[in-house]
Each structure stands twice: as C-alpha cells, then as structure tokens.
Amino acid sequence: MLDFIVYNLLLGIGPLKSKVVATIIATTASYVMNRQWTFGNRGRAGVRREYVLFFGLNLVGLMIQLGVLGTAKYGLGFSEHGTTSDWIALNVANAFGVGIAMVFRFWAYRQFVFTAPETAVSEVEAVEVALTDIALTELHAAPVQRQPTDDFDELTAPLEAELTESELADRS
C-alpha cells in the first residue's frame, strides 16, 4: 500500500523513477513489519545481516517490477502524462509487477533472510516423537486379559499370561 501511495504521488517524475523511490521507502517499512509479524517466530541472525539481504532481495524484486513497468511504458506506449486510461494502465502494470515480485520476495525471505532456527523441532520430528512415546507406553502397559475363543486359545492362555509377566519382570 505504501508503495502504491508513494508511486502515485511521485508519478509526475516518471514511472520508473517514482517506482525506485517508492520501493526504497516501502522496503524499510516492509523489513520492520516482516521482522515483527510475518517472521517474528524465526531466529534472528543480526539486524545488519538481515537488512542487507532483505534490501538486496528487494532490489531483485524492484528489477522485476521495473521490467513490467518498462514494458508498459516503452513497449506498450503508456505515458504518465497521457490520458486517464494511460495512468490506469501504468497502475495495473505496477500492480502486476508488485504481485510477481511479492511471490519472489516471500520465497526469498523465508529461504535467505528470516531463516528458521536450527534448534527447533520440525513438525515431522514432533510427530515421530509422539508416536514413539505412544508405542513405548503401549509396550509397557499391563497385558490385556482376553477371553479364550476356542480350544487352542483355552490351552495357551495361561502360558501367554505367564510369558508376558516374565517379560515384564525381565525389563524392570
């Protein structure tokens, strides 16, 4: 939003120049918001390192946006001094460029700037630990006494119970 406001306020100096200024202003605000809210639970690698990477990745995003705006201005002939439809077309091109750059930036921020803490347990590891705990609990639980269903079960039930009790005694 800040990007669009600054871009439109400065559109009179040209769409590419106004985009550069808008991106520089929006980048600093975006860093603070991403650090606090979007990636607030991630580890911190130092403000200087994060901001330099953040700003560098925003430069790549800016190049994406300038490519789209340059195509609209120089390739398609829309002018900031033209009609209202030219102004609308430049804003649509700006929005399209912002969308493409936003997808790139989010991916890059997750991968390179706001990295996940290495000591955190991943969701998969947490599930594995939980399943292991359940399995161990069931293994050490008292054996379930079942009712014999046929002659074979009737003959072997006392032996199974004896074997289970001795296994539990050996483990203790």
pLDDT of residue 120: 45
Q: Of 65-69, 83-87, 91-95, 145-149, which gets the smallest average pLDDT?
A: 145-149
Q: Tell which residue, 10, 16, 172, has the closest CA to residue 94.
A: 16
- Quickly state the pLDDT bin for 136 (edges 50, 70, 90): low
Alpha helices in the chain (DSSP H): 2-9, 15-33, 47-70, 84-108, 123-140, 151-171
Token digits of residue 100: 């493409």
Mean pLDDT value across residues 52-73: 90
pLDDT of residue 119: 44
- Quickly state the pLDDT bin for 83 (edges 50, 70, 90): confident
Cα 100 from Cα 58, distance rounded (Å):
12
Cα 60 from Cα 108, distance rounded (Å):
10
- Neighbouring CB atoms inside 10 A of 156's CB total 12
- Quickly state the pLDDT bin for 96 (edges 50, 70, 90): very high
Angle between helices 47-70 and 84-108 (to 10 degrees): 140
Contacts for 141 with CB less than 8 Å, ≥ 6 apart: none
Average pLDDT over the chain, rounded to an integer: 78
- What is the residue extent of each domain of the chain? 2-113, 123-171
pTM of the shown model: 0.54
Return the DSSP state at 148.
-
